[in-house]
Amino acid sequence: MVLSNWFSKLLGFLGLQHKSAKILFLGLDNAGKTTLLHVLRDDRVAQHQPTQYPTSEEIHLPSTCGSIVLRAFDLGGHRLVRSVWRDYFPRVDGVVFLLDSTDRERLPEAATELTALLREPCLADVPFLVLGNKIDLPGAASEGELRNWLGLPPPPAAAAGSSGAKLGSWGRLAAFFGGPAGARQGGGGGGGERPVELFMCSVLRRMGFGEGFRWLSQHIK
Ligand SMILES: Nc1nc2c(ncn2[C@@H]2O[C@H](COP(=O)(O)OP(=O)(O)OP(=O)(O)O)[C@@H](O)[C@H]2O)c(=O)[nH]1
Ligand SMILES: [Mg+2]
Protein backbone atom coordinates (compact mmCIF):
# COMPACT_ATOMS: atom_id res chain seq x y z
CA MET A 1 0.00 0.00 0.00
CA VAL A 2 2.73 2.41 1.03
CA LEU A 3 4.77 1.29 -1.94
CA SER A 4 1.88 1.77 -4.37
CA ASN A 5 1.20 5.28 -2.98
CA TRP A 6 4.85 6.09 -3.38
CA PHE A 7 4.83 4.66 -6.91
CA SER A 8 1.74 6.61 -7.96
CA LYS A 9 3.26 9.80 -6.54
CA LEU A 10 6.41 9.12 -8.54
CA LEU A 11 4.37 8.60 -11.72
CA GLY A 12 2.47 11.79 -11.00
CA PHE A 13 5.74 13.64 -10.47
CA LEU A 14 7.04 12.31 -13.78
CA GLY A 15 3.78 13.30 -15.47
CA LEU A 16 3.05 9.68 -16.40
CA GLN A 17 -0.15 9.28 -14.48
CA HIS A 18 -3.35 11.23 -14.89
CA LYS A 19 -5.99 11.56 -12.23
CA SER A 20 -9.54 12.15 -13.39
CA ALA A 21 -11.44 14.44 -11.10
CA LYS A 22 -14.92 15.94 -10.98
CA ILE A 23 -14.40 19.65 -10.36
CA LEU A 24 -17.11 22.30 -10.00
CA PHE A 25 -16.41 25.84 -11.19
CA LEU A 26 -18.48 28.05 -8.90
CA GLY A 27 -18.71 31.72 -8.00
CA LEU A 28 -20.89 34.73 -8.77
CA ASP A 29 -21.77 35.68 -12.33
CA ASN A 30 -19.06 37.65 -14.13
CA ALA A 31 -16.27 36.17 -11.97
CA GLY A 32 -14.52 34.58 -14.97
CA LYS A 33 -15.42 30.88 -14.68
CA THR A 34 -16.20 30.23 -18.34
CA THR A 35 -13.20 32.27 -19.46
CA LEU A 36 -10.94 30.20 -17.22
CA LEU A 37 -12.42 26.93 -18.43
CA HIS A 38 -11.71 27.82 -22.04
CA VAL A 39 -8.23 29.09 -21.28
CA LEU A 40 -7.51 25.76 -19.60
CA ARG A 41 -9.03 23.82 -22.51
CA ASP A 42 -7.82 25.80 -25.52
CA ASP A 43 -5.15 28.10 -24.07
CA ARG A 44 -7.13 30.93 -25.63
CA VAL A 45 -9.06 33.89 -24.17
CA ALA A 46 -12.52 34.44 -25.67
CA GLN A 47 -15.65 36.40 -24.77
CA HIS A 48 -18.60 34.33 -23.57
CA GLN A 49 -22.25 34.95 -22.92
CA PRO A 50 -23.32 34.58 -19.28
CA THR A 51 -23.74 30.85 -18.62
CA GLN A 52 -27.43 29.89 -18.53
CA TYR A 53 -27.16 26.11 -18.43
CA PRO A 54 -24.59 23.83 -16.85
CA THR A 55 -21.91 22.56 -19.20
CA SER A 56 -19.07 20.13 -18.66
CA GLU A 57 -15.73 19.68 -20.36
CA GLU A 58 -12.93 17.16 -20.06
CA ILE A 59 -9.72 19.08 -19.64
CA HIS A 60 -6.21 17.65 -19.62
CA LEU A 61 -4.18 20.02 -17.51
CA PRO A 62 -0.51 20.33 -18.44
CA SER A 63 2.21 19.33 -15.98
CA THR A 64 2.57 23.01 -15.01
CA CYS A 65 -0.97 22.74 -13.61
CA GLY A 66 -0.57 19.32 -11.99
CA SER A 67 -1.01 16.79 -14.84
CA ILE A 68 -4.59 15.88 -14.04
CA VAL A 69 -7.67 15.25 -16.12
CA LEU A 70 -10.66 17.31 -15.02
CA ARG A 71 -14.30 16.73 -15.64
CA ALA A 72 -14.99 20.41 -15.17
CA PHE A 73 -18.57 21.57 -14.57
CA ASP A 74 -19.30 25.22 -15.35
CA LEU A 75 -22.58 25.89 -13.57
CA GLY A 76 -23.14 29.59 -14.10
CA GLY A 77 -23.17 32.09 -11.27
CA HIS A 78 -26.25 34.22 -11.76
CA ARG A 79 -28.53 34.16 -8.74
CA LEU A 80 -31.28 32.30 -10.64
CA VAL A 81 -28.99 29.47 -11.76
CA ARG A 82 -27.20 29.03 -8.42
CA SER A 83 -30.08 26.82 -7.28
CA VAL A 84 -28.78 24.00 -9.50
CA TRP A 85 -25.33 23.97 -7.90
CA ARG A 86 -26.34 21.46 -5.26
CA ASP A 87 -27.48 18.94 -7.88
CA TYR A 88 -23.80 18.57 -8.77
CA PHE A 89 -22.43 18.13 -5.23
CA PRO A 90 -22.49 14.31 -5.08
CA ARG A 91 -19.10 12.69 -5.74
CA VAL A 92 -17.30 15.98 -6.28
CA ASP A 93 -13.51 15.85 -5.98
CA GLY A 94 -12.87 19.59 -5.77
CA VAL A 95 -14.37 23.06 -6.04
CA VAL A 96 -12.82 26.01 -7.86
CA PHE A 97 -14.47 29.17 -6.51
CA LEU A 98 -13.78 32.32 -8.52
CA LEU A 99 -14.13 35.89 -7.30
CA ASP A 100 -13.94 39.13 -9.23
CA SER A 101 -11.47 40.93 -6.99
CA THR A 102 -12.39 44.29 -8.56
CA ASP A 103 -16.07 44.05 -7.65
CA ARG A 104 -15.99 45.22 -4.03
CA GLU A 105 -19.74 45.82 -3.97
CA ARG A 106 -20.34 42.13 -4.45
CA LEU A 107 -17.60 40.76 -2.20
CA PRO A 108 -20.08 40.29 0.69
CA GLU A 109 -22.38 38.32 -1.63
CA ALA A 110 -19.45 36.20 -2.83
CA ALA A 111 -18.33 35.60 0.76
CA THR A 112 -21.86 34.51 1.71
CA GLU A 113 -21.96 32.01 -1.16
CA LEU A 114 -18.53 30.64 -0.30
CA THR A 115 -19.45 30.28 3.36
CA ALA A 116 -22.63 28.42 2.43
CA LEU A 117 -20.64 26.03 0.24
CA LEU A 118 -18.10 25.42 2.97
CA ARG A 119 -20.96 24.55 5.32
CA GLU A 120 -22.42 21.97 2.92
CA PRO A 121 -22.17 18.59 4.65
CA CYS A 122 -21.65 16.71 1.38
CA LEU A 123 -18.70 18.96 0.51
CA ALA A 124 -17.15 18.62 3.94
CA ASP A 125 -14.04 16.75 2.71
CA VAL A 126 -13.72 18.52 -0.62
CA PRO A 127 -10.72 20.78 -1.27
CA PHE A 128 -11.57 24.36 -2.27
CA LEU A 129 -9.36 26.35 -4.58
CA VAL A 130 -10.41 30.01 -4.24
CA LEU A 131 -9.20 32.25 -7.07
CA GLY A 132 -9.18 36.03 -6.66
CA ASN A 133 -9.43 36.90 -10.35
CA LYS A 134 -8.87 40.05 -12.49
CA ILE A 135 -5.86 41.39 -10.66
CA ASP A 136 -4.70 42.81 -14.00
CA LEU A 137 -7.27 45.59 -13.50
CA PRO A 138 -6.48 48.73 -11.49
CA GLY A 139 -8.17 48.83 -8.12
CA ALA A 140 -8.35 45.08 -7.66
CA ALA A 141 -8.59 44.06 -4.02
CA SER A 142 -5.35 42.81 -2.52
CA GLU A 143 -4.90 39.31 -1.19
CA GLY A 144 -5.15 40.66 2.35
CA GLU A 145 -8.40 42.47 1.62
CA LEU A 146 -9.94 39.37 0.10
CA ARG A 147 -8.75 37.29 3.02
CA ASN A 148 -10.54 39.69 5.36
CA TRP A 149 -13.75 39.56 3.38
CA LEU A 150 -13.68 35.79 3.23
CA GLY A 151 -12.63 35.41 6.84
CA LEU A 152 -9.52 33.47 5.88
CA PRO A 153 -6.74 33.43 8.46
CA PRO A 154 -3.39 34.93 7.47
CA PRO A 155 -0.84 32.53 6.02
CA PRO A 156 1.50 31.17 8.71
CA ALA A 157 4.54 32.90 7.19
CA ALA A 158 2.83 36.33 7.26
CA ALA A 159 1.48 35.74 10.77
CA ALA A 160 5.03 35.00 11.94
CA GLY A 161 6.18 38.32 10.46
CA SER A 162 8.32 36.74 7.76
CA SER A 163 8.90 38.17 4.30
CA GLY A 164 5.98 36.10 3.05
CA ALA A 165 3.86 39.27 3.27
CA LYS A 166 5.95 40.74 0.46
CA LEU A 167 4.28 38.30 -1.91
CA GLY A 168 1.33 40.72 -1.87
CA SER A 169 -1.47 40.08 -4.29
CA TRP A 170 0.57 37.62 -6.28
CA GLY A 171 1.30 35.54 -3.30
CA ARG A 172 -0.63 32.60 -2.04
CA LEU A 173 -2.51 32.02 1.09
CA ALA A 174 -2.36 28.60 2.66
CA ALA A 175 -5.17 27.82 5.05
CA PHE A 176 -6.83 24.70 6.22
CA PHE A 177 -10.31 25.31 7.52
CA GLY A 178 -13.86 24.13 7.30
CA GLY A 179 -17.36 25.19 8.30
CA PRO A 180 -17.91 28.92 7.90
CA ALA A 181 -15.12 30.79 6.15
CA GLY A 182 -12.40 31.63 8.62
CA ALA A 183 -13.22 28.93 11.12
CA ARG A 184 -10.61 26.26 11.44
CA GLN A 185 -11.92 22.75 11.59
CA GLY A 186 -10.17 20.11 13.63
CA GLY A 187 -7.25 22.47 14.40
CA GLY A 188 -3.56 21.73 14.61
CA GLY A 189 -3.33 19.59 11.46
CA GLY A 190 -5.43 16.79 12.94
CA GLY A 191 -8.19 14.83 11.21
CA GLY A 192 -11.40 16.39 9.94
CA GLU A 193 -9.70 19.32 8.22
CA ARG A 194 -10.13 20.10 4.60
CA PRO A 195 -7.88 22.18 2.44
CA VAL A 196 -8.92 25.67 1.34
CA GLU A 197 -6.48 27.98 -0.32
CA LEU A 198 -6.63 31.39 -2.00
CA PHE A 199 -4.55 32.26 -5.04
CA MET A 200 -4.67 35.65 -6.74
CA CYS A 201 -4.81 35.43 -10.51
CA SER A 202 -5.57 36.99 -13.84
CA VAL A 203 -7.22 34.56 -16.21
CA LEU A 204 -6.87 37.17 -18.96
CA ARG A 205 -3.10 37.38 -18.46
CA ARG A 206 -2.89 33.63 -17.71
CA MET A 207 -1.19 34.22 -14.40
CA GLY A 208 -1.61 32.74 -10.96
CA PHE A 209 -4.13 29.96 -11.52
CA GLY A 210 -1.56 27.35 -12.65
CA GLU A 211 -0.06 27.31 -9.19
CA GLY A 212 -3.59 27.02 -7.79
CA PHE A 213 -4.40 23.96 -9.89
CA ARG A 214 -1.10 22.33 -8.94
CA TRP A 215 -2.11 22.83 -5.31
CA LEU A 216 -5.58 21.41 -6.01
CA SER A 217 -4.21 18.35 -7.80
CA GLN A 218 -2.17 17.53 -4.71
CA HIS A 219 -5.27 17.64 -2.51
CA ILE A 220 -7.63 15.59 -4.63
CA LYS A 221 -8.13 12.21 -3.02
N1 LIG B 1 -9.80 42.10 -16.84
C2 LIG B 1 -10.13 40.81 -16.74
N3 LIG B 1 -11.33 40.41 -17.18
C4 LIG B 1 -11.63 39.10 -17.06
C5 LIG B 1 -10.74 38.15 -16.48
N6 LIG B 1 -11.33 36.94 -16.49
C7 LIG B 1 -12.56 37.13 -17.04
N8 LIG B 1 -12.74 38.41 -17.38
C9 LIG B 1 -13.94 39.02 -18.00
O10 LIG B 1 -15.02 38.92 -17.10
C11 LIG B 1 -16.24 38.80 -17.82
C12 LIG B 1 -17.04 37.61 -17.31
O13 LIG B 1 -16.34 36.41 -17.62
P14 LIG B 1 -17.11 35.00 -17.69
O15 LIG B 1 -16.05 33.96 -17.85
O16 LIG B 1 -18.18 35.02 -18.69
O17 LIG B 1 -17.75 34.95 -16.22
P18 LIG B 1 -18.56 33.76 -15.57
O19 LIG B 1 -18.05 33.58 -14.20
O20 LIG B 1 -18.56 32.55 -16.45
O21 LIG B 1 -20.03 34.38 -15.48
P22 LIG B 1 -21.45 33.61 -15.52
O23 LIG B 1 -21.46 32.68 -16.70
O24 LIG B 1 -22.47 34.70 -15.66
O25 LIG B 1 -21.58 32.88 -14.22
C26 LIG B 1 -15.85 38.66 -19.30
O27 LIG B 1 -16.01 39.93 -19.92
C28 LIG B 1 -14.39 38.28 -19.25
O29 LIG B 1 -13.66 38.70 -20.39
C30 LIG B 1 -9.45 38.63 -16.04
O31 LIG B 1 -8.59 37.91 -15.54
N32 LIG B 1 -9.22 39.97 -16.17
MG1 LIG C 1 -20.03 31.57 -17.47
Q: What is the DSSP string of 95-147?
A: EEEEEETT-GGGHHHHHHHHHHHHH-GGGTT--EEEEEE-TTSTTPPPHHHHH
Q: What is the mean pLDDT of residues 119-129?
A: 96
Predicted local distance difference test score (pLDDT) of residue 14: 57
Residue located nearest, by CA, to atom 7 of ligand 1: 32
CA angle 92, 40, 180 (to 5 degrees): 40
**Whether residue 81 has pLDDT greater than 50:** yes
Q: How confident is the model at residue 9 (pLDDT cuts 50, 70, 90)?
A: low
Domain range holding 115? 18-219
What pTM value is reported for the model?
Answer: 0.82
- 191 in a domain, yes or no? yes
What's the number of domains the chain is made of? 1
Is 64 annotated in a binding site? The answer is no
- 114 in a domain, yes or no? yes
- Order of strands, edge to edge, in the sheet holding 128-133? 55-60, 68-74, 19-27, 94-100, 128-133, 195-200, 172-176
Q: How many CA atoms lie within 13 A of 108 on its CB side?
A: 1
- 34 in a domain, yes or no? yes
Q: Would strands 55-60 and 68-74 be described as parallel, antiparallel, or unpaired?
A: antiparallel
Predicted local distance difference test score (pLDDT) of residue 177: 37
Q: Give the distance (Å) from ligand 2 centre to CA of residue 36.
A: 9
Q: Give the distance (Å) from ligand 2 centre to CA of residue 67.
A: 24
The reply to whether ligand 1 has any atom less than 6 angstroms from the CB of 29 is yes
Is 134 annotated in a binding site? The answer is yes
Q: Give the distance (Å) from ligand 1 centre to CA of residue 218.
A: 26
- 12 in a domain, yes or no? no
| CATH code where residue 86 lies | 3.40.50.300
Q: What is the mean pLDDT of residues 2-15?
A: 56
- 177 in a domain, yes or no? yes
Lowest mean pLDDT among 112-126, 133-147, 179-193: 179-193
Predicted local distance difference test score (pLDDT) of residue 6: 64
- 38 in a domain, yes or no? yes
